[in-house]
Structures are given as structure tokens and as C-alpha cells.
């Protein structure tokens, strides 16, 4: 299996984190090839095989908990979470608990603290982001926000993420600074920078600006590397994973 994206951040050595790309699996078009989502009409046996490959190639200490993501703000504790539970974030306070978030344009956000006692992952589409999924995740980590490090995985980039005025208003209503993350298109729509929107909310929640990493990829424009729902509609899902050794 090939094609991993690793966070470029100075996390403690006990923290392990990775994001998959679309390559290295067994799924057929339009899910080719490393689709990890079991809700996108891919063949179940292909998804199972891909998840097994993921465990083997990363030498995961345990299988991940696969959430049913609903664009909300619910955060589950890994110790009591089960496959299929509805939530958009998961936190782990114990070693060998693998947190997983699936995306295909939405923003995957991975968290750890500098004391390597807690990790978390959050699924931040615009609805969840505007509603406070990142703030809810930070609160669930039960540590000082100034000790938290964050990595922003691959998501739809600011040149491709077209949204309506209601999306802009949802962010500006919470933080006026969010105005700078939107540019007007000639068709009356806006282009949104989901990375900038996430950084604004993380900083407002107490995460230091120098502790936020990542945010340079575009799932929409890099079709060889990433699945993109906006680009293909029917497509697979990548996974972003984090755990403590």
C-alpha cells in the first residue's frame, strides 16, 4: 500500500498520525482504489479489504472506530464509542486507541497535546465547522488549549470551494474576521478558504497560532491523489488517523 500524507508537525514521539490518499487499495472505479468508506456504494468486500490493508500497512495497534459522520458537533470518547455511532469527532485519552475521520473535500483536523496524553480527530465540513465542531473537540480533550497542537489535513482548496451567501453569513455571524476568508465570484457566489476559517476558530478557542500546521493541499484539484465529492459526486473516502503508541 502506498500514498500516505504525514503531518509536518513537531508532535511528541508517542503521537502517530497519517492521512490516506486514494491509492494503494483494491476498489474499482469510481472508488479507485483506496476507498475506506462503507456508505458510498462501493463493494463491501473491497471496503473490508482496504480497511485490512490500512491496519496491516500502518501496523495499527487496534482497528479504528469508524464513525457515521453527520456534519454535526458531537464528540465521542473512544473508550465508549462503537463502529457506526453518529458523531463528527472522537477523542482518545488512552494508548492504542485509533481515532479515524473520513473525508472527500471536508476538512480533517487532527489534535494532540504536548504532554502526549490525549489525541483527537474531527470532521469539519462547513456546517460542522460553523456550528463549533472544533471547539467541541478541544473541550473534550480536557487540557489547556495552549498545549494543543493541530494539523489540518487535505481538503477542498480556496480556489475551488464555491459557496453561497448563507455559508459566508454563518461564519461571519460568529467571527467577523471570517469575512477575509471569502472572495466574491462573478456569478454572485463566493470562494471560501476552509483552512483559514478553521484557523480563525482554533485561535479563538485558545490554540496558539504557531501550533496550527498543514492546510496546503486541495482535494478538488489533485485528482491523482485525493477523492473529491465536489469533483466526482460518487467517489471514495480518505481517512485521517491519530493514536498514542
| Percent over 90 (pLDDT), the chain | 98
Q: What is the pLDDT of residues 80-91, one digit of tens each?
A: 999 999 999 999
The predicted structure's pLDDT at residue 217: 96
Give dist(CA 216, CA 159) in Å, integer: 12
Residue 18 has pLDDT above 90, yes or no: yes
What is the average pLDDT across 134-147?
98
Q: What is the CATH number of domain 4-157+208-244?
A: 3.60.140.10
Q: How does the average pLDDT of the chain come out, rounded? A: 97
Here the contacts of 223-232 (C-beta below 8 Å, separation 24 or greater) are 224/22, 225/3, 225/21, 225/22, 225/23, 225/154, 226/21, 226/22, 226/104, 226/154, 227/22, 227/35, 227/104, 228/104, 228/105, 228/156, 229/104, 229/105, 230/105, 230/156, 230/160, 230/161, 232/30
Residue 1 has pLDDT above 60, yes or no: no
What are the residue boundaries of the structural domains of the chain, listed by start?
4-157+208-244
The predicted structure's pLDDT at residue 2: 58
Confidence of residue 31 (pLDDT cuts 50, 70, 90): very high
Q: What is the pLDDT of residues 150-197, one digit of tens each?
A: 999 999 999 999 999 999 999 999 999 999 999 999 898 999 999 999
Contacts of 40 (CB under 8 A, 6+ apart): 31, 234, 235, 236, 237
| Percent over 70 (pLDDT), the chain | 99
The predicted structure's pLDDT at residue 41: 97
Give dist(CA 183, CA 166) in Å, integer: 14
SS3 94: coil
124 - beta bridge partners? 107
Amino acid at each position: 500500500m502506498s500514498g500516505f500524507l504525514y503531518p509536518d508537525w513537531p508532535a511528541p514521539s508517542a503521537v502517530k498520525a497519517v492521512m490516506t490518499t486514494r491509492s494503494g487499495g483494491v476498489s474499482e472505479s469510481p472508488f479507485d482504489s483506496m476507498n475506506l468508506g462503507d456508505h458510498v456504494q462501493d463493494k463491501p468486500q473491497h471496503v473490508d479489504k482496504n480497511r485490512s490493508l490500512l491496519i496491516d500497512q500502518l501496523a495499527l495497534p487496534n482497528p479504528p472506530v469508524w464513525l457515521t459522520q453527520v456534519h454535526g458537533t458531537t464528540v465521542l470518547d473512544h473508550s465508549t464509542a462503537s463502529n457506526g455511532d453518529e458523531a463528527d469527532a472522537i477523542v482518545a485519552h488512552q494508548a492504542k486507541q485509533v481515532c479515524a475521520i473520513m473525508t472527500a473535500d471536508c476538512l480533517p483536523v487532527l489534535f494532540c497535546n504536548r504532554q502526549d496524553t490525549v489525541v483527537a480527530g474531527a470532521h469539519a465540513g462547513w456546517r460542522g465547522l460553523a456550528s463549533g465542531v472544533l471547539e467541541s473537540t478541544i473541550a473534550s480533550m480536557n487540557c489547556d488549549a495552549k498545549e494543543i497542537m493541530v494539523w489540518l489535513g487535505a481538503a477542498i482548496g480556496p480556489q475551488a470551494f464555491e459557496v453561497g451567501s448563507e455559508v459566508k453569513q454563518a461564519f461571519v455571524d460568529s467571527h467577523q474576521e471570517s469575512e477575509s476568508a471569502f472572495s466574491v465570484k462573478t456569478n454572485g457566489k463566493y470562494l471560501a478558504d476552509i483552512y483559514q476559517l478553521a484557523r480563525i476558530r482554533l485561535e479563538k478557542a485558545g490554540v496558539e497560532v504557531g501550533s496550527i500546521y498543514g492546510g496546503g493541499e486541495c482535494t478538488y484539484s489533485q485528482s491523482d491523489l485525493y477523492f473529491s465529492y465536489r469533483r466526482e459526486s460518487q467517489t471514495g473516502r480518505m481517512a485521517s488517523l491519530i493514536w498514542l503508541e
